[in-house]
Structure 1
Amino acid sequence: MPLVAVDQTITIAMSVKDRHASAKWYETMLGFELLYHADEAGWSEVQTNTPGVAIGLGEHTKPAPGNCVPVFGIADLDSARQKLEQAKVRFDGETDVVEGMVKTATFYDLDGNALMLAQDLTGGIE
C-alpha cells in the first residue's frame, strides 16, 4: 500500500515568460483548452486532450526551460510534425524510430520547454 494515494489527475508545471501567450500557443498548436488564468497567482492551466492531465503555466521573468518533457500520444506523428513545422514550431533533430515499438519527436514551445510526440508502433501488442 502506498504512503499516499494520489488521484487520477496530473498537472505538468512549466515555467513561461507570458502565460497568456503560452496558453494561446497550446490551444492553437495542440488543441488544448484553457481552464483558467489566475493572474494574481501568476498561474494558468490548460486541459490537454487526455482526461485528468493538465499543463500548469507558471509565469517567471526568467523561466527555466526544459524542466520537464511531457510526452503526448499521437496516431500519426509524421502528419502532426508536418503541421507543427509549417506553423514554425522548432523540432530537436529528426524523428526517432524504434521499429515495432515507438516513433518519437521532440519539439519546443515558445519558451524552449521540451515536449514530445510519441506514436505507438506495437499495433496494440503489450
Structure 2
Amino acid sequence: MSLISVDQTITIAMSVSDRHASAKWYKNMLGFELLYHADDAGWSELETNTPGVVIGLGEHTKPAPGNCVPVFGIADLDMARQKLEQAKVAFDGETDVVEGMVKTATFYDPDGNALMLAQDLTSGID
C-alpha cells in the first residue's frame, strides 16, 4: 500500500523564456493543443496526445536548460505533504497557492530529482 494516492493526471512542467512562442512550437512540432495561458501567473498548459498528461510551461527570464518536473495531481495536497514529511521526504520550501487555480509543493526523491504535487482549486473546493 502506498503512502499517498495521486490521481490520474500528470503535468510535465518545464521552464521556458517565452510561453507563447513555446506553445506554438509544441503545437506545430508535436500537435499539442493549447489549453490556456495564465499570463498573471506566468504559466501555460498544453494538452498532449496522451490522456491525462499535459505540458506546463513556466516562464522564466533565464530558464534552466534540460529541466523537467513531473507534476502529479492530488486531491488533498496538505494531507499528502504531511504524510510524506512524516516519512522524511524533503520538500523545497512552503506550499505555493494561486488562489482559485492551484496549490503546489515541490519535493525530492532519494536521488534529488524534483517532483511536484498539485491540487486543482478551480472547482472552488480546497
TM range (shorter): 0.5 to 0.7
Distance in 1, matches of 2:17 and 2:6, equals 30
Q: Structure 1 residues 1-10 or 61-70, which shifts more?
A: 61-70
The aligned residue for residue 11 of structure 2 is: 11
How far residue 68 of structure 1 moved from its aligned partner, in angstroms, is 2.8
Distance in 1, matches of 2:15 and 2:9, equals 20
Amino acid at match of 2:31: G
Written as runs of structure 1 = structure 2, the 5 A alignment for 1:48-67 is: 48-67=48-67
Shift in alpha-carbon separation, 1:65–1:11, aligned structure 2, 3 A: same
Max Rg structure: 1
**Aligned residue pairs: how many?**
70
After TM superposition, the runs of 4+ consecutive aligned structure 1 residues lying more than 3 A away are none
The aligned residue for residue 34 of structure 1 is: 34
Q: Deviations over 1:10-31 (max 9, x none)?
A: 0000000000000010000000
Unaligned runs of 5+ in 2: 71-126
Query: Root-mean-square deviation (CA), in Å?
Result: 1.6
Give the structure-2-normalised TM-score: 0.53
Contact 2:14 2:69 in 1 (8 A): no
Distance in 2, matches of 1:18 and 1:68, equals 16
Amino acid at match of 1:68: C
Give the structure-1-normalised TM-score: 0.53
Distance in 2, matches of 1:62 and 1:50, equals 29
> Percent same amino acid among aligned pairs?
86
Structure 2 residue matching 1:54: 3-state secondary structure: strand
Unaligned runs of 5+ in 1: 71-126
